[in-house]
Chain A
Amino acid sequence: MADNGKRDIIICEDVKKWFGDFQALRGISTRVYEQEVVVIIGPSGSGKSTWIRCINRLEVHQEGRIIVDGIELTSDVRNIEQIRSEVGMVFQQFNLFPHLTVMQNITLAQTWVRKRTKAEAEEKAMALLERVGIPEQAHKFPGQLSGGQQQRVAIARSLAMDPKIMLFDEPTSALDPEMIKEVLDVMKELAQSGMTMLVVTHEMGFAREVADRVIFMDQGQIVEEGTPEHFFTNPQHDRTKLFLSQIL
């Protein structure tokens, strides 16, 4: 239980990970409560992406424990599948399926994983496309959309699975400046609707405005964490101050 009485939905205990000889995560321990919006920042190579990719097992952690919604991530395939269907993920490169239409992108996993009928899945897809503001693109292919539109489809595709948690891995880093806003707006709306979100980003404005907590990582460790006010106005750690002075 967190201080505010909300349930912990993600628990990480001393998570470690190596790529060969290189240690990417040097013991991450933190808890995320339900409906919390956590923004993770840090220099490149600090292990931000690796950590959130561990949470839905796209990367395998070698030591420590990760418990998502009461289910521990082990090598048990059933646990992995169960967690993946509860956790949505949005990638830097969108990763839409280019051979399927926008509609098919959103309905594919609904029909195969959630076993919905085509009509149900399409109804859900249209509702989500309305929500992200591009219902008119439903029958186009991803290659015909702009970057910002593609990322919004990717968000809709994840939401279609009714996830309890959404992971965002630098969702705006591959976008032109004028498209960043349209994606951030969708994410803000999502945060206000009460979704639990872990967001790796370089958008400090978004962190300041939306985050409940900001985590600063460097060299595979959590260096400092706190509320946005604390973080941007009164950082404690030298490394944090240096990083903030370089990007702000």
Chain B
Amino acid sequence: MTQSRIDATQTRPPLWRNVTFLKWATQIGVLVGLVVLAWILISTALRNLEAQGLSLDWDFLTDPVGIRLGEGIFTQPASGLEAFATAIVNMLRVTASGIIAATILGVLVGISRLSSNWLLSRSATAFVETIRNIPLLIQIVFWFFLMTLFFPTLEVDASGPAPGWLIVSRKGVSIPWLFPTEVFWQWFVFVAGGAWAARRVYRRRIELLEETGRETHPGRWALGTFVLIAGLGWFAHPIAGALGWLFALVAAVIAAIPDFAFQLLFAAVSIWLGARWIRRFLDSRRTPAGLARLTDDDYFRMGLAGVLGLAGAAVFVAIPQITSLITDVAHFVFAFLDQKFDFLRTGVPLRLGRPEVVVPGRFPQIGDTGMTMTPNFFGLWVGVTLYTAAFIAEIVRGGILAVPKGQTEAGMALGLKRSQVLRMIILPQAFRIILPPMGNQYLNLAKNTSLGIAIAYAELVQVGQTLFNQTGDTIQVFLIWMAFYLTVSLVLSSIVNWYNRRVKLVER
């Protein structure tokens, strides 16, 4: 009796009841389904495009275009590529400056809402409630019109244009600015080196402080080191021009090596990456006693990693264009860097530009000698900054409130001052709670910059629309839009996730 029951558990169940088989079948089924679905969608789209006489060519990227952009690195782009490059730089400018400004403002407002000062906390509440309850589009248009309608008109006096220090007008706000010259990058080598050395010195002084307990002024030492090296570089930068030879050498080597060698190299790297992933995965599953039991899921993931590595290698070997694109870009980058460096090329790394009014035609304009904030940039930047700051303020407030009250009490009971408790105990913990939702707000800000089209700010959506109105290449532009916003979002979120993992609390 007992014997037969043991037998029963040891016989394998039929395939349709076998968990292992079912899991594998589902995983592979889903994978095949996805591939088939993608293939159907893409082939249908291509067939229909062909039937309507539309083609998916990318010539518009290199062909000359007849558009003018409001602002940016190329205001009269020679090609679609230059137009997109300008639009992308403009978008990133708003995004980066918006993220910095919204973070600072949001944190201040968020802390203010918790203040015991009645006026301060009520003002902060009013700010949050007003800003987050008005649609962003309306706010952007509002700030744009605020500048274009209510700022003073741009005028030149009878003596003609002269450089000034500050221009505030309906056509923009312009301030003096330090612009990089052709030797800037040679100097920048010293600036970066100085920052690195300052970091080292700072850590060393901190170690010394902890060892001896004497005040070692780490901050002052670090600043001194940085200023010394950067200041030295201001005069010594022609030496760094020698780096140009290095970049030229790399560019020449890339050009000299035949493409099929790179193809094989990339294929090998692809296989190596797959193998490394599998090895690390196995390491992470290993227990001190040896290899832990792997689940079917684990086998599937390792199998998939292996297949992807091999598939990547196959793609590199089968399609040489991919490799030549990569080597072309690498060659371009190093050749570009080579131009920026020239041994013993002298000059001043930064040049002061003062804003001025020019009169190219009938009406005065702000010249490009200063740093100018156009009404379009102003409207979009202020709009997304305030809007995001309102949400960040709520996140910060929630994060601080989420730290248990006992933490403050424990700190106070040890005799720490209130400011020390806030700085060393509350904020580090609140920060960990705040970080993930903060990342979401950064993503929202980046995507919301596409509303710039409403006030003709030359960002990606506005420029893309102008382009496909001219060329009719709607689908390509849509693909570029999606690819770009996806890339920006993925980069932002992987930065936030990476940082989040780094600061996560250690628990069992």
| Distance to closest chain A CB from B338 (angstroms) | 47
Q: Which B residues lie within 8 Å of A157 (CB)?
A: 414
| Distance to closest chain B CB from A168 (angstroms) | 12
Query: B416 at interface (Cβ–Cβ under 8 A)?
Result: yes
Of A84, A87, A120, A143, the residue contacting B506 (CB under 8 A) is A143
Cα A96 to Cα B425 in complex, Å, equals 10
Evaluate contact between A91 and B429: CB separation under 8 angstroms. no
Q: Which B residues lie within 8 Å of A112 (CB)?
A: 416, 420, 424
Residue of B nearest to A120 (CB): B213
Q: Which A residues lie within 8 Å of B412 (CB)?
A: 58, 84
Cα A121 to Cα B407 in complex, Å, equals 21
B476-508 CB contact bits vs A (8 Å, 1 = yes)? 000000000000000000000000000001111
Cα A143 to Cα B507 in complex, Å, equals 4
Cα A120 to Cα B213 in complex, Å, equals 9
Q: Which A residues lie within 8 Å of B505 (CB)?
A: 98-99, 141, 143
Query: B57 at interface (Cβ–Cβ under 8 A)?
Result: no
B211-249 CB contact bits vs A (8 Å, 1 = yes)? 111000000000000000000000000000000000000
Query: A95 at interface (Cβ–Cβ under 8 A)?
Result: yes
Evaluate contact between B210 and A118: CB separation under 8 angstroms. yes
Residue of B nearest to A84 (CB): B415
Name the interface size band of chain A: 20 to 34
Residue of B nearest to A141 (CB): B506
Residue of A nearest to B431 (CB): A99
| Distance to closest chain B CB from A151 (angstroms) | 12
Which of A108, A120, A144, A154 counts the most B-chain CB atoms under 10 A from its CB? A108
Evaluate contact between A117 and B210: CB separation under 8 angstroms. yes
A84-122 CB contact bits vs B (8 Å, 1 = yes)? 110111010101111100000000110011001111100
| Distance to closest chain A CB from B429 (angstroms) | 6
Evaluate contact between A109 and B416: CB separation under 8 angstroms. yes
Cα A96 to Cα B415 in complex, Å, equals 15
Cα A27 to Cα B404 in complex, Å, equals 30
Evaluate contact between B212 and A84: CB separation under 8 angstroms. no
From known contacts A141-B505, A143-B505, infer whether A97 and B211 are also in contact, taking CB-CB under 8 Å. no
Interface residues of A (CB under 8 A from B): 56, 58, 81, 84-85, 87-89, 91, 93, 95-99, 108-109, 112-113, 116-120, 140-141, 143-144, 154, 157-158, 161
Q: Please give me the 9 A-B residue pairs with the lowest Cβ-Cβ distance, nearest first.
A: A117-B213, A143-B507, A85-B415, A95-B410, A109-B414, A141-B506, A118-B210, A95-B406, A89-B413
